Amino acid sequence: MKNIRLPWGAWYGDEERSFELPESWDVSLFELDARHRVGEQRIAEVLETLSRDIRAKKPSSAIIVVDDLTRPVQLEELLPKIVSRLTAAAVAEKDIRVLIGLGSHAPLSDGDLRKKLGSHIVDRLQCINHNPRETKAIGMEWGKTEIRLNRHYLAADYKIVISGLTPHSFAGFSGGAKMLVPGIADMETLSKTHKSVLMGFMGQLGTVEQNKFRDTIEGFVERAGLDFFFGLVINPDRSIRELYGGHYVEAHRAASAEAARFCTLEADGPYDLVISSAYPKDTELLQAENAMIPLKSKKEGLLREGGTLVLMSACSQGVGHHGLFGEGGKLYRKPRPLRLLKPYNVAFYVENVDTSGFATVFNEEYFFTDQWSSLLRHITPQLPPSPRVAVFPYGSMQLVG
Amino acid sequence: MKEKILEFLYDESLKDEFEDLDHDDSLLELGIIDSVKMMEMISFLEENFGIEVDDEELMPENFDSLNAIVAFIESKKG
């Protein structure tokens, strides 16, 4: 047998796991080069741009919107530097809030906040989980839906958004205006956003230009106001690879272009078997669909028709929570087989989830297990004796060109 | 008009959903439409009811229930 070593359990354990594959399998492991880190000089340049903007606007209060643990960027080092720029411009710490742009995900516990933001921030600033019921109208409508955003955000003098950029099924890349719509919107706006995408009216993976979804939400953000955006291109280990800052459209476009360069790879398919891990978005089953990003980005030619797809996730938090798509949510429905996966044999390797939990997110006809030997026994008969195998250790952020 | 649209949408695997369908129910929430079915439905409506759907009219409130679809077609026909 041969071993593949994969990172496992982002935010919750962060270990490297070894998985055995038969010696006769022809395995290609698609890595991402995570050695590069943003330099101190670049950070200082972006922060100086922020300082100039703050000095010019002279705000008396500020809010900083960040993403949650389903989004893999660690802010412990960067956030205090941003706060110090605000305090240096005479914004008191008591007037600076951190708002977690949850959308309708589960609120972060104190422990989760410390993982994401660091104790220095959690102990000094008021950190608020977005509540879709605490919103205010921004004075715009989307069809018949009144757009409402978090009232604490709207009340702040100076508005900062920080987000990592990873490939996103409909926003092209995450971050930017999406941090506000749907990130800090009310349930009606959240529902409208997701319905528009699910009905196929807008949205595209890996593309922010000419993306109708992004164009639409940027119109709302223009009205609501956003003073400074930090776009973070991230490494799979959640460290910051590159940093962009400034206007929320320009900085997001620049960060997206860099993220696309970093996340896109060539894979000489078709393969008999594709193994893709949701890491570093492997916190919950509701995010496991992110492991399909390589296949979504190359629907033809990556995996042969009749081939086998193995999706993996640590699911450290089990099934997880989503106010719209989770069980009991407005857009929840009993899972059916996914159209994208119809040409393939599909198997899941997921931990911390039982049969009933699995069936609330994925169709129960899909094979799933938390035993690697059981998975191998299940998929081996589907494969030729020496199958070509592609392994994506960071499937949630790997686009295939 | 409703019967014709229902006939187009009908899917045997969703028999129960169709039996209990209220004409104001969300077709998306019931799993009756998804992005592919929606695009097929737009073509179907254009071909069968003599309308043209503009890009800016592609919104859930126009297509998410049988009653909404009928109201939309009627508004287009003036």
Per-residue confidence at A366, pLDDT binned at 50, 70, 90?
very high
Residues A257 and A271 in one domain: no
Predicted pLDDT at A329: 78
Residues A256 and A118 in one domain: yes
Show residues of chain A in contact with B60, CB under 8 Å.
Answer: 143, 192, 195-196, 199, 201
Token readout for A2 is 């041969």
Quote helix, strand, coil % in chain A, to nearest 5: 30, 30, 40
Q: What one-letter code names the amino acid at A182? A: P
Decide if pLDDT at A89 tops 80: yes
Q: For B49-55, what is the mean pLDDT? A: 91
Residues A292 and A374 in one domain: yes
Residues A53 and A163 in one domain: yes
Residues A253 and A373 in one domain: no
Quote helix, strand, coil % in chain B, to nearest 5: 65, 0, 35
Query: A239, A262, A285 — which closes off a domain?
Result: A262
Q: Which CATH class is domain B2-77?
A: mainly alpha
pLDDT digits (tens, 9 = 90+) for A24-53: 999 999 999 888 999 999 999 999 999 999
Predicted pLDDT at A219: 94
Distances from the Cα of A212 to the Cα of A193, A196, A242, A293, A332, angstroms: 12, 10, 26, 20, 25
Decide if pLDDT at B20 tops 80: yes
Q: Which residue has the tokens 């949630």?
A: A396
Per-residue confidence at A372, pLDDT binned at 50, 70, 90?
very high
Query: A218, A246, A262 — which closes off a domain?
Result: A262
The pairing of strands A345-350 and A303-313 is: parallel
Show residues of chain A in contact with B67, CB under 8 Å.
Answer: none
Predicted pLDDT at A170: 85
Q: What one-letter code names the amino acid at B29? A: E
The pairing of strands A171-173 and A167-168 is: antiparallel
Residues A204 and A76 in one domain: yes
Find all residues with CB under 8 Å of A135, minimum gap 6, and list them: A148, A149, A150, A151, A184, A185, A186
Distances from the Cα of A213 to the Cα of A75, A195, A242, angstroms: 27, 11, 25
Residue A53 and residue A57: Cα distance in Å, rounded? 6
Structural domain boundaries in chain B: 2-77
Residues A213 and A320 in one domain: no
pLDDT digits (tens, 9 = 90+) for A220-268: 999 999 999 999 999 999 899 999 999 999 999 999 999 999 999 999 8
Find all residues with CB under 8 Å of A268, minimum gap 6, and list them: none
- The residue of chain B with its CA nearest to that of A203 is B35
Predicted pLDDT at A203: 81
For A109, half-sphere exposure in the C-beta direction (CA atoms, 13 angstrom radius) is 3
Residue A320 and residue B10: Cα distance in Å, rounded? 33
Domain count, chain A: 2
Per-residue confidence at A364, pLDDT binned at 50, 70, 90?
very high
Q: Which domain holds residue A162?
A: 40-262
- Backbone φ, ψ for residue A326 (5° rounding): -70, 165
What percent of chain A clears pLDDT 70, i.e. is strictly above it?
Answer: 100
Token readout for A239 is 């460290």
Q: Is omega for the bond preceding A280 within 30 degrees of 0, making it cis?
A: yes
pLDDT digits (tens, 9 = 90+) for A165-181: 999 988 899 999 999 99
Query: A237, A262, A287 — which closes off a domain?
Result: A262
Q: Which of B29, B38, B61 sits opposite A143 (nearest CB)?
A: B61
Residues A246 and A357 in one domain: no
Q: For A368-392, what is the mean pLDDT? A: 97
Provide ipTM, 2 decimals. 0.80
Across the interface, whether the CB atoms of B28 and A201 are under 8 A apart is answered no
Decide if pLDDT at A339 tops 90: no
pLDDT: which is higher, A323 or A257: A257
Predicted pLDDT at A324: 80
Is A119 in a helix, a strand, or coil? helix
Residues A59 and A136 in one domain: yes
Predicted pLDDT at A127: 96
Residues A169 and A242 in one domain: yes
Looking only at Cα atoms, what is the longest distance across chain A?
A: 68
Whether A69 is in a domain gets the answer yes
Nearest to A368 by CA among A308, A319, A330, A311: A311
Decide if pLDDT at A7 tops 80: yes
Residue A210 and residue A191: Cα distance in Å, rounded? 23
Predicted pLDDT at B72: 95
Show residues of chain A in contact with B33, CB under 8 Å.
Answer: 199
Decide if pLDDT at A9 tops 90: yes
pLDDT digits (tens, 9 = 90+) for A277-303: 999 999 999 999 999 999 999 988 999
Tell me the average pLDDT of chain A.
Answer: 94
Predicted pLDDT at A27: 97
What is the reported pTM? 0.90
Q: Does B30 touch chain A (CB under 8 A)?
A: yes
Is A126 in a helix, a strand, or coil? strand
Predicted pLDDT at A174: 93
Predicted pLDDT at A273: 98
CATH number of domain containing A313: 3.90.226.30
Residues A154 and A222 in one domain: yes
Strand partners, A349: A312, A369
Alpha helices in A23-95 (DSSP H): 40-57, 78-88
Across the interface, whether the CB atoms of A333 and B38 are under 8 A apart is answered no
Residues A209 and A290 in one domain: no
